[in-house]
Structure 1
């Protein structure tokens, strides 16, 4: 703990209430950063859309219309701000109370908070949750990185490289409350896939791999694109899949830890992959495409296998080699690199640098 604890205002994703699952990995990241900093006696207030829930953490709930999800927009689409925008309302609240805080942390992957940065007197730290998706956002992120060096944080270097910016940044990774994830040394003969069910996540490759191997695939996550999901079911009617749904952490790890491996079949540059470290925390090896953040997480041949992107045959081969992975190595990597303590060290250092200028 520092001599003078930080007072921080966390500004949530505006795409849906926290706890809904539609915010993807940023929901878990926001929760765990809050816990990590509160454990160090820092004061954190979370501002989020109306209807949000964040474990036992109190939230300032803001009404308004949700923001469109960035990955569903075209690269050159103009900036969108709905009428009575919850994003605008969240940042109007932040403006009105900014002087009560040492720093504001932005978790919204959106143009507006970056644009507003010069107009706030309290420094803003930006946690960027995805890789490059739109030209307008790329440009404003680079402008903030150049004007306010070190105030932008990414999960991984791979993610940061997609923006092609020259300014300095913080590479922060992620972390978990390890006590909530139980190690399982002897798994059942089944696989797992976790994430938002939408095209960029490439679920159909995992389903095809399950069909080819005959090993049951448990699917965890929110169905974001119903047409996409129905197309998978129609394309692979005989695949051994079991859709579990979106579960909270405790119920998720109860099922996940009994799986032989986690498949990550993303078609885009995944910024990080919280699902990967959740699996590792349970001792579950990760089979991931060698693309984006997961390639910086998985130790090939030690805590899982990295496969050439979009290769179902590569997934099948890696599944056949899962027994070569020592599940204890998976848990040990998670404890050393992705505990709340490790995350807290990185984020605390970043925010103190921003506060102290």
Structure 2
């Protein structure tokens, strides 16, 4: 297939601003290239593709970043800033649609979904978040009623947020496991990774680390500096080790040293990339039983679950997770979340999209 992948309009690829969508984009492009497809990527100016994606043609557009739906009230209207990157993406994508067989949209935005019934070349949407806005919920429900095959989701927990006409197509996510080194010998260190913002629940992980008298290494972009300062002030000095946003090679080398990764979402996390990245290094995960991480963590196999927002239960989950065989975590990722497995699911979905097939749906990835 000739495939155009339209990236997130929230920052350039490689900047970290796009969160987990960046990792998904790289895995999707690399996997489809290896399966023999012709792939182009439309992304913000300044974007850089990793070596595994270099055979893809990179189209760049300049413009104002699109505001994320993630940090706005549920009733917020659709907003596109003057000179916005989002409409410039789609002006270029639609101008080149005759050159491709399918357009893959990675942006969690109203415009490309609304365009779907009005465009000759099929647009396939990999939805990256759960419900965060009424306008988004409505347009997904409206277009899914007409073209259910055009939507794919990372997990069942995420898909359950939306009014869909039938069973969702679940594709999980994929990781280049050659980039993650298995570490059998952990240090007395807990880990936490993600955007440093309130919906990620870092304050709970910090409190648990303090209660267990263990340091907590924190990786990720400080999206909300005031929030980060409040979290640090809530625990004894030295509890938090701020490691910053790191490229995969450096992140996995540090992450693998952790005894346990804590995952503490306060919202319905669509997947949980850092959960899988930790497991790929052999690190078991203690997570709240909420959203995608609640599906990825298999108690006794690759981690332990705790009731959402229950810090005491999370501390107990850390203790259980420390007893898990680290090699089992890596094996689970190899079976369920490799880049090859993910690319196969994406390929099957896009083939169905180009043929207009709506059923039967394959089973979920986990």
| Range of TM-score over shorter length | over 0.9
Q: 2:27 aligns with which of 24, 32, 38?
A: 32
Check whether the contact 1:146–1:168 (CA below 8 A) recurs between aligned residues: no
CA distance in 2, matches of 1:150, 1:228: 40
Give the secondary structure class of the aligned counterpart of 1:293.
helix
In structure 2, the CA distance between the partners of 1:53 and 1:241, relative to structure 1 (3 Å rule), is: same
The answer on 1:100 being equivalent to 2:99 is yes
**What whole-Å deviation, never above 9, does each CA across 1:21-74 have from its counterpart, x for those lacking one?**
111111100100101110111111110111112213352110110011111111
Residue in 2 that maps onto 1:3: none
CA distance in 2, matches of 1:213, 1:238: 14
Residue in 1 that maps onto 2:149: 150
The answer on 1:22 being equivalent to 2:17 is yes
| Count, aligned residues | 352
Give the secondary structure class of the aligned counterpart of 1:294.
helix
CA distance in 1, matches of 2:28, 2:234: 40
The answer on 1:43 being equivalent to 2:42 is no
CA distance in 1, matches of 2:212, 2:247: 29
Residue in 2 that maps onto 1:310: 309
CA distance in 2, matches of 1:205, 1:255: 21
1:320 is displaced (CA, Å) by: 2.1
CA distance in 2, matches of 1:293, 1:104: 25
Matches within 5 A, 1:1-357: 6-56=1-51, 57=54, 58-238=57-237, 240-357=239-356
Check whether the contact 1:210–1:239 (CA below 8 A) recurs between aligned residues: no
1:15 is displaced (CA, Å) by: 1.1
Gaps of at least 5 residues in structure 1 are: 1-5
Give the secondary structure class of the aligned counterpart of 1:301.
coil
CA distance in 2, matches of 1:285, 1:125: 34
RMSD between superposed Cα atoms in Å: 1.1
Check whether the contact 2:260–2:322 (CA below 8 A) recurs between aligned residues: no
**What whole-Å deviation, never above 9, does each CA across 1:76-96 have from its counterpart, x for those lacking one?**
011100001100000000010
CA distance in 1, matches of 2:330, 2:202: 25
Check whether the contact 1:142–1:167 (CA below 8 A) recurs between aligned residues: no
Check whether the contact 1:145–1:168 (CA below 8 A) recurs between aligned residues: no
Check whether the contact 1:34–1:44 (CA below 8 A) recurs between aligned residues: yes
CA distance in 1, matches of 2:163, 2:100: 31
Check whether the contact 1:75–1:133 (CA below 8 A) recurs between aligned residues: yes
Q: TM-score, normalised by structure 2?
A: 0.94
1:169 is displaced (CA, Å) by: 3.1
Check whether the contact 1:176–1:338 (CA below 8 A) recurs between aligned residues: yes
Stretches (4+) displaced over 6 A: none
Q: TM-score, normalised by structure 1?
A: 0.97
Check whether the contact 1:207–1:239 (CA below 8 A) recurs between aligned residues: no
Check whether the contact 1:146–1:167 (CA below 8 A) recurs between aligned residues: no
Give the secondary structure class of the aligned counterpart of 2:149.
coil
Give the secondary structure class of the aligned counterpart of 1:316.
helix
Check whether the contact 2:298–2:304 (CA below 8 A) recurs between aligned residues: yes
1:251 is displaced (CA, Å) by: 0.5
1:266 is displaced (CA, Å) by: 0.5
1:144 is displaced (CA, Å) by: 1.4
CA distance in 2, matches of 1:171, 1:317: 31
1:238 is displaced (CA, Å) by: 2.5
1:237 is displaced (CA, Å) by: 4.1
Check whether the contact 1:21–1:246 (CA below 8 A) recurs between aligned residues: yes
Gaps of at least 5 residues in structure 2 are: 357-366
